[in-house]
Chains A and B, each alone.
Chain A
Amino acid sequence: MSRETILNALLVAGLVALPLGAHLAGEPFTVTLATRAVILALAAVGLNIALGLGGLVSLGHAAFFGVGGYAMGILASHAQSYVPLMEAPFLIEGTKSMPVIWLVAVVASALAALLIGMLSLRTSGVYFIMITLAFGQMLYYFAIGWAPYGGEDGLPIYVRNGFPGLNTLVPIQFYALCLVVLLLALALHAVIARSPFGLALDAARQVPERVRAVGLNPTRLKLAAFTLSGAITGLSGALFADLNRFVSPTMLSWQMSGEIMVLVILGGTGRLFGPVVGAAVFVALDHHLGGLTEFWQVWLGVILLAVVLFARGGLIGLIAGERRTDA
C-alpha cells in the first residue's frame, strides 16, 4: 500500500468516526459543520473530474452548483405552496422527496454543463477559463432577475426534504446520507480514472494529437467529462440547498466557483481524496479563523498563495509525496 492509500483509508475512517463522536457527545453543530464539509467536498469531486482528469480549468462550476440548488428550491417551493409547476399539457407538481429532487438536479445540471461545455470547448487554455467564468456570471444575473423564484432575495424552504426510511431532520442521519453520496462519487471517480474512458481522457489532456491519431475525438471525451463533472457538482448543489434550507443567487456567484476550485487545489489536483482534504480544511479554517477575526479570508488568501507558490501537490502532496506519474 502506498502512503496515499493509507492516508485515504484514514480519511474515510475520520469521516465516519469524528461526526459520530460529536453526535454521541451531543454536539449537533459539529455534525452540521461536517455535513457542510462533505457536501462541499462532493462539489469539488465533481470539479476534480473535469480539472484533475480532463485538465479543464473551469471557473464556472458555481453555475452547476446553483442549477442543482435551484432544482431543489423550485421543486420544494411548489410542494410547500401546493401550486403545481405546470398544468398543461400535463400536470407537474412539486415534490419534497430527495431521490426525485436529486434526479432532476443531476439531469438539469448535466444539460447545463453539456450546453456550456459545447460552446466553451470550441476554445482552450485561457479562453476556456474566461468563457466558463462568463457563462457562470450569466446564470447568476439570470437568477437575480428571476422574480418568481425569489430573485435577489433567494428562496427559503421551510422543512428539509425527506428521504425514504430516514429522518433527515436529525443531523447525523442527514450527514450519513451525504457521506454515502460522497463515497459513491469518489468510487465513481476511481472507477472512471482506471476505465478506458479515463485513460483516453488522460491522453486527451496530455497529447490531443495522438488521441486524434488513434481515431478518438478529444473534444468529445472532454465534453463527456465536463458534463459528468457538472452533474456531480449539481447534485452537491441540491444537497447544499437542503442543508441550508435556502437557495439564493450567491450559490451561482463567481466567488463560489473560485471556492470550489480552491478546495480541489488545497487538497491536491487530480488526487482522489484531494477535494475531501480541501473541503475539511476549508470548513475548519472558516469556522475557527472566522471566529477569531472577521477578515479571515485575508489569511485564506495568504495560505492559498503559499500552497500555489511552494506546495504544488496540495496538502496531500505534502503528506503523501508527489503523485505517481503512472497513476
Chain B
Amino acid sequence: MSPILIAEQVLNGLQFGVMLFLMAAGLTLIFGVMGLINLAHGSLYMVGAFAAAAVAGLTGSFLLALIAALAAAAIAGALVEIVVIRRLYARDHLDQVLATFALILIFSEGTRWIFGSFPLFLDIPGWLSGPVTLPGGIAYPLYRLVLIGAGLAVAAGLGLLISRTRIGIQIRAGENDREMIAALGVDISKLYTIVFALGAALAGLAGALVGAIQSVQVAMGEPVLILAFVVIVIGGIGSIRGALVGALLVGLTDTLGGIFLPELFKLFLDPATATAVGASLASMAIYILMGAVLIWRPTGLFGAPA
C-alpha cells in the first residue's frame, strides 16, 4: 500500500467529511435554536440537487446551477417552516419526527412526480474537471479538491456569522433563552424562519455539489441525513464545532475503513474471507465509532453535559 494511495484516501475522506458537515451544521443549528428534530433535512438536500441539475440542463452554467440550488432549498425551507414546522416547536419530538417523516414522503414522491424515476446527471464544469498534481506527485481530481476548499470556507464563514454578526448574536441568544430575546424585541418567529432557511440552503448546497459526482435521484438525501445524525451524536447536539469534528471523523473513518480493514484482515485470514469480513465491518465502522463515543461520552465530544 503506497503513501500516494493513502494520501488520496485521506483526501477522499476529507471531501466526504466536509459535505457531511454542510448537512450536519444545518441540522444541529436548527436543533440548537428551535429544539426541533428535522427528518426532512435530506429532502432539502435533494431539492438543491434537483434544482441544480434542472438549471444546469437549461443554461449549461454550473455557477447558475449552484445559485439555483441555494435559492430553491432556502425558499423550500422557508415555506416548509412557515406552513408546517412552526406548528411543531411546542410539540414533543415524536410529533416532530412524524410530521417531518410525512414531509419526506411528500417531497420524495412529489419530486418523482415532477422529474420521473430516472436519475438526472449534473456535469462537473470544464474549468473544474481533470486532475491536478499535488506536492509529492499525487494526481487528484480538481473538483474534489474544490469541494474540500468550499466546505472549509463555508465552515469558516458560518463560524464568523455566528460569532461576529448581529444575526449570529441573536441565534446564540435564541439557543440560550428564547423568551428573553423575544422580550428584548427580536422577532423570534422571523429569526426561526431565517435559521431554518439558512440550514436548508446549506443542505441544498451540499446536494448540488455532491450531485455533480453522484447521480441526482429521489431519496438521495436520506442516507446522508442518517450519517449527519451520526455526526451530530458524535459531535454533540447544537455545537457547530462538534459538527465539523464529527463530520471529518465520520468521513475519514468511512473512507479509510473501506480501504484498510480488508487489508488488515488479509494479514491473518485468507484473501476471500478477509475481503468479505473487512468489507462488512467497514460498512459498520462509523456506527461502531458512534457506539464507542456514546459509552465514553453520552452527550458527544462537544455537547453540554446533561
Which residues of A are in contact with B by a Cβ distance under 8 Å? 51, 57, 59, 119-120, 122-123, 125-127, 129-131, 133-135, 137-138, 141-142, 144-147, 254, 258, 261-262, 265, 269, 295-298, 300-302, 304-305, 307-309, 312
Contacts and interface: CB of A to CB of B under 8 A. Distances in A.
Considering the complex of A and B, which 5 residue pairs feature the smallest CB-CB distances, nearest first? A301-B105, A138-B287, A301-B106, A130-B229, A304-B102
Contacts of B37: 126, 129-130
A237 to B, nearest CB: 20
Contact of A57 (B97, B106, B108, B237): B97
Given A134-B230, A298-B106, A305 B94 contact: no
Most B C-beta atoms less than 10 A away, residue of A57, A125, A295, A308: A308
A269 B97 CA distance: 14
B234 to A, nearest CB: 10
5 contacts: A125-B93, A130-B37, A298-B105, A301-B103, A305-B106
A150 to B, nearest CB: 14
B101 A258 contact: yes
B87 interface: yes
A145 B294 contact: no
Interface of B: 31, 37, 84, 87, 93-95, 97-99, 101-106, 108-110, 112-113, 222-223, 226, 229-230, 232-233, 237, 276, 279-280, 283-284, 287, 290-291, 294-295, 298-299, 306
Contacts of B99: 304-305, 308-309
Contact of A144 (B112, B113, B283, B290): B283
B101 A131 contact: no
Given A123-B306, A142-B280, 5 more contacts: A123-B298, A141-B283, A145-B283, A297-B105, A312-B95
Given A119-B294, A130-B229, A308 B109 contact: no
B59 to A, nearest CB: 29
Contacts of B106: 298, 301-302, 305
B93 A57 contact: yes
A134 B229 contact: yes
Contacts of B298: 122-123, 127
A258 B39 CA distance: 11
A146 B284 CA distance: 12
Task: Give the dominant DSSP class at A's interface.
Answer: helix
Contacts of A265: 94, 98
B294 A308 contact: no
B276 A147 contact: yes
A126 B34 CA distance: 13
Contacts of B104: 258, 301
Contact of B101 (A123, A125, A262, A309): A262
A62 to B, nearest CB: 12
A295 B87 CA distance: 26
Nearest to B117: A294
Contacts of A59: 97
A308 B287 contact: no
A246 B269 CA distance: 32
A131 B108 contact: no
Contact of B294 (A51, A122, A138): A122
B226 A301 contact: no
A123 B299 contact: yes
Contacts of B306: 123
Given A131-B290, A142-B283, A145-B279, A297 B237 contact: no
Contacts of A123: 294, 298-299, 306
B101 A304 contact: yes
Contact of A302 (B102, B229, B233, B280): B102
Given A131-B233, A305-B103, A57 B94 contact: yes
A308 B98 CA distance: 7
A308 B105 CA distance: 14
A185 to B, nearest CB: 22
A122 B46 CA distance: 33
